[in-house]
Chain A
Amino acid sequence: MTTNRIHQKLQEDKKILSIYFTAGYPALEDTATIIEKLQDSGADMLEIGLPFSDPLADGPTIQESSTQALKNGMTTGKLFEQLKGIRNTVHIPLIIMGYFNPVMQYGVEAFCAKCAETGIDGLIIPDLPVDVYQEEYKPLFEKYGLANIFLITPQTPDDRIRYIDSVSGGFIYMVSSASVTGAKNTFGDTQKQYFERIYNLQLKNPQIVGFGISNADTFEAATKRAKGAIIGSAFIRFLNEKGVDAIPGFISSVR
């Protein structure tokens, strides 16, 4: 159980709007500015994407932003440098989302220590499976006060969802449909039924829906039953078109 900023935020009586963006994109030094602007425009929680050369759970938008961020010179060390002092101005929960290989190369313990030092509250590592986490890394994450967040999908069986719920700290990341990341305009009946099914399981951790959320409609549909929703690809596309200064307009268009 984590008592960090994520936990506190989830206690609030409101639907959580979480935004994903890729660190080092559009420009290398945009990371801290984007974080501050998102907070100031009313985002509740942020996922900072650590770019990876081979992001196999991501659709084209996030892939391209990762490729560009790496071209811009983004590295793990660089990200921690950019985040130094971020807690002087930012108080909303910050989560790093990245693939396991860069974390391994940095050193899992060194990475966790650095996260704690900079004020990161949690990690989402889609290719670190729950059983490996349980056996090898859980004590480490806990030592540094990091919530580890797992994904579930429409194909995840109920008993596995309950197992993931028992291991999770923070929230459960509900992938909205069988797909890689990418923006969609609407949710169909199957997705709505899935949202109901998960709601009816009455899990101990709150659920936040991600993948395919792009605007006020999809945000509302996703959060009818869940505690919040995450927007990624749609925000990255917006950044690409409108630039960092237009961020407040994006947040106000969602709610």
Chain B
Amino acid sequence: MSAPVKSSAPIGGNAGKGAYHVSERGYYGEFGGAFIPEMLYPNVEELRRKYLEIMSDPSFKEEFNQLLKNYVGRPSPLYFARRMSEKYGTRIYLKREDLNHTGAHKINNTIGQILMARRLGKTRIIAETGAGQHGVATATVCALTGMECVVYMGEIDIARQAPNVARMKMLGAEVRPALSGSRTLKDATNEAIRDWINNPVDTHYIIGSAIGPHPYPDMVTRFQSVISEEIRTQLLEHEGRENPDYVVACIGGGSNAAGTFYHFLDEENVGIIAVEAAGKGIDSGESAATSVLGHKGIIHGCKTLLMQTEDGQITEPYSISAGLDYPGVGPMHAHLFTSGRAEFKAITDDDAMKAGLELCQLEGIIPAIESSHALAVFEQREFGKDDIVVVALSGRGDKDLNTYIDHFSL
């Protein structure tokens, strides 16, 4: 079990023992590290030196836990999905991150990082966003703490995700269009990094997934690890045991997955299933299945698997779900994949949409399309009738209504 508030361990516990946790030097196997230009070194180095110490401070943990409880609404329920379980002949639990304030797991990380930024004496926040979920979660915590907030978003995504752009503005954030490259998430991330280079003293960059240079992947993972920590306590109540047989989560950059897997990484009897977006099909040229289509390289300061040309130019992924179309995966997941610790599945747009609609009709829950990818695993793979399978329902589908409506001609 992870640290109760009074222990001296950082949020997420004392890691480093298991083969799947980050090493002292910031690597997961051969992946990770900090491949950053010198201009970023002072900021990233300050964070690296201080993040574990700050995350170990009892008053920091107390503040984080209080906000998760009273502001985010945690713990999120672990819900036994009876009708779905009957249909698939196994025991399915849903971890309801969709019920969090702002509608997804993203807020766990932004709460943690805004408190971190304050401890570091920063007064200005920048973030990148694709679909706008992380942008909204960042704008929210900036409003909560009275910090200046600039969110970079690809020009194309701004046009596609108007409601989230409006939310960010209402929350007081400035949304700046990323006009370079392909004008989507990867370019918004580049722009945020450039902003940080230009503003090295007062600014903290809240990265939205378990990506980026060390210590970001580990820090984000630790803030998200509240998901698996709660699963263990809740499963003990439901089933009299802490470990499920499987945990399943979708992967964009990999933050909800990292949080869902975290406390089970070293538990060898827990199967880990990571679900990527196959888009229109793995071989269609329009996909985001990085574990299949990617190669080892450097993206946004981190050595990992990423989609690129033979010449090392980063390519634009595709998925119907804006939250899954990132051309890389976090370094922890690259390691879970190459080491064989996790089973990777790729789900097409169509299969994800079907699984999403099915959850609506069997359980009365409208999932985010990202999460629908994780739910589609039951059509792709058999589970034993006594197996306990916990699926991360990373977000709710409000933001995706138009896509659902178009897809099913509702």
Contacts and interface: CB of A to CB of B under 8 A. Distances in A.
Given A127-B35, A156-B42, A54 B310 contact: no
A178 B312 contact: no
| B35, B187, B310 interface centre (most CB from chain A within 10 Å) | B35
Given A101-B298, A178-B200, A57 B180 contact: no
A91 to B, nearest CB: 30
Which range holds the interface residue count of chain B? 35 or more
A105 B308 contact: yes
A180 B301 contact: no
Given A103-B312, A180-B197, A56 B38 contact: no
A76 B201 CA distance: 36
Given A102-B311, A178-B199, A180-B198, A67 B39 contact: no
A178 to B, nearest CB: 5
A150 B42 CA distance: 15
A175 B39 contact: yes
Contacts of A77: 311
B24 to A, nearest CB: 13
A105 B311 contact: yes
A116 to B, nearest CB: 20
Interface residues of A, number: 42
Given A102-B312, A103-B312, A178-B197, A56 B190 contact: yes
A70 interface: yes
A155 B36 contact: no
A96 B349 CA distance: 42
A124 to B, nearest CB: 10
Interface string A126-138: 1111101000000
Interface string A40-75: 000000000000111111011001100100100001
A53 B313 contact: yes
B39 A101 contact: no
A150 B38 contact: yes
Interface centre among A56, A63, A157 (most CB of B within 10 A): A56
A152 interface: yes
A178 B39 contact: yes
B199 A175 contact: no
B41 interface: yes
A245 to B, nearest CB: 29
A178 B39 CA distance: 7
B364 interface: no
A76 B309 CA distance: 12
Nearest to A126: B37
Interface in A120-163: 126-130, 132, 150-153, 155-157, 160
B310 A105 contact: yes
A100 to B, nearest CB: 5
Interface of A: 52-57, 59-60, 63-64, 67, 70, 75-77, 99-106, 126-130, 132, 150-153, 155-157, 160, 164, 175, 178-180
